[in-house]
Structures are given as structure tokens and as C-alpha cells.
Amino acid sequence: MINTDVQKIFKQFEGQLIMVEEELRNIFKSDSVLIPLIGSHLIEKGGKRLRPLFLILCAEIAGYKDKERLVLASVIEAIHTASLLHDDVVDGADTRRGSPASHSIWGNQTVILVGDFIYAHALALSVAQKNLAIIEALAQSIMKMTEGELIQLQKSGDPDIAEADYLTIIAYKTGSLFSTACKIGGLLGSFKDKELAALTQYGLKAGVAFQIYDDILDFEADEEELGKSLGKDLDEGKITLPLIYLLEIANADEKKEITDLIIQNRNHKNPQLIEKDLKRMLKLFAKYNIIDKAMDKAKSIVESARNELSVFPDSPQKDALFVMTDYCLQRKK
């Protein structure tokens, strides 16, 4: 029986998540020594494996417990991993979860090619499952993630970015893979129509809330806690929800000041200036309760995600999905 405490949920599925990691290592197998080498670097620094756990839980709520769910959970995590490799190159990020980013060790060309290999191998494994709906869902997710990255690049350092643009970006970049993980769980259990749509939307909204909270943490947590520098998104030209809300509510002089800071950060990488700008930004966040406003948005999306599960009868699996959605707004890493 699944306990609704999040730590006990992770413990309950620890054995299955270990098997997912074993399957994930298989995806990195190659005649090229660099692919398993980089794979080991990534796996050892891996996170909580949230997306695989969402897939496993959704498969359980659909009554499916065969091994294929573990293989496909590893496919989902492999796609996520490949996207991180590419994102770090695009963003010029030096670290990932507190350790050197792969491209800073092996170079951009190698890492991009390894990311391409992971995408291809992951999709090949999904083809072996002989379920066209699952293959289509994975392919659509990869397309959305790429579109989201391109839209984000177009909006990089743009102080006029709208909340709707931001929500589109994170729905594509982050929400789509959470959504696909949950949808695959339902497809494995042969869910149709209403139940499948509910899991798909539940995953999308959980992923969006997850990303909003991640962006909030960028202005709240320190590097030791989060594994990335405070204000790193701003440094990379990403205008996230807290900054969008600040630009909406600030007075004319403050808005000009913030806009100038964004443009300056976009055009130079002086650490001392960035730190000074960030301190000023944090003071304005406090003045207008911006973090609370962004959290309220994330909480409303979490509540909407929970409502998607109303089509399912009460069960320990449903309770676990509720808890995992809440966890998206409670984690520190």
C-alpha cells in the first residue's frame, strides 16, 4: 500500500526506480566510449527521477504493472537527460546540479552528438514496444521541447515578454515531458478518452507548476541547496515569472531600471555587476511581494492538476499522485 508521505512514496518505489536506472544505463551503451562515460557522469549526478515515478504511478492507476513501464520510464528519463545536455550548451551553463556541466568537460560538439544519440536510442526502444500511440506521444514531446527552447531563445533578454509567452515556453520545455510520462502510463493500461485526457492534462499542469517553482527557487535558494547559482536564469537571459510580475507592477522609474538591468546582463557577463543587479532585483521583489504572487500562480496550477484526477475513484495510487503534485512546490532540489 502506498503511503501518502512523499518520502515513503519514493521509498515504496525505490526498487523500481533502481531498475529504471539500470535500463537507463542500457540506453547509454555504445561502441563509442564517450557515450557510456558521459552517461555515467549524468546518472551519478541524477535527480529524484520524478518523470519516471509519474509514469509508474499513472501506469498503476491504470492497472498496469508489467516490465514495459520500467523500460518506458527509462526512455522518458533518457529524453529528459538529452534535453539537459542540449540546454546546457545553448545556455552556456557551467554547472549542472552543483557539478561541472558535461560540455565544460567534453566540449560542445561531443555533448550535442551524445544528446542526439540518446534521443535516437530512446525512440528506438519505444518502437520496440510496438505501440504507435506511445511512439507518437514521445515524438510529439521531443518536438514540443525543441520548439520551447527555440521560443525561449527568441525571447531571451526581452523585457517585454508576456506571461502567456512564458507559460507557453515552460509548457513546451517542461510540461510536455511530464504530460507524456503520465499519458504513457495511461496508454499502457489501455485507458481511453476521458481517463487518458485527464492523466495527460494532469501531467502537463504538474510539469508547469514544477517549472514555475524551479524559477522561483532561482531567486530564493543558494548554490549549495539548489545546485545552481542564485539568479542564474537572469544571467542566462531568461525572463521568468517573478521578473515578468515585477515588470507588470513596478512604477515607471523602477520598470526602466529593471529593463536596463536586463539589457545590461544580456550584453555583458561581469559577475560583480550581475551580483549588484541581483541584489537590487531582490529588494524590489520584497517590496511588491513578487515571490508570493508567483507562488500563488503555481499553487493555482497545482490545484487544477489535482482536479484533473477527479475522474478516478479514490485509491492509494490517486493519493500518491496528489502528494507528488504537491511535492513539485515543496522540494529544495
Give the model's confidence band at 227: pLDDT under 50 very low, under 70 low, under 90 confident, else very high.
Answer: very low
**What domains can you pick out in the chain, each with its CATH number?**
6-327 (1.10.600.10)
Cell numbers for 150:
527555440
Mean pLDDT of the region 119-130: 90
DSSP state of 227: S
> d(Cα 276, Cα 175) in Å, to the nearest integer?
33
Q: Which of the given ranges, 72-76, 105-109, 125-129, has the highest pLDDT on average?
A: 72-76
Q: Residues 52, 58, 59, CA angle at the centre, nearest 5°?
A: 90
Give residue 233's pLDDT: 76
Q: Residue written as cell 544505463?
A: 25
Q: State the DSSP code for 313.
A: P
pLDDT in tens, 166-194: 999 999 999 999 999 999 999 999 888 99
Q: What is the mean pLDDT of residues 31-48?
A: 82
Q: Which of 2, 3, 4, 58 is nearest to 312 (CA)?
A: 58
DSSP H or E stretch at residue 87: helix 68-91
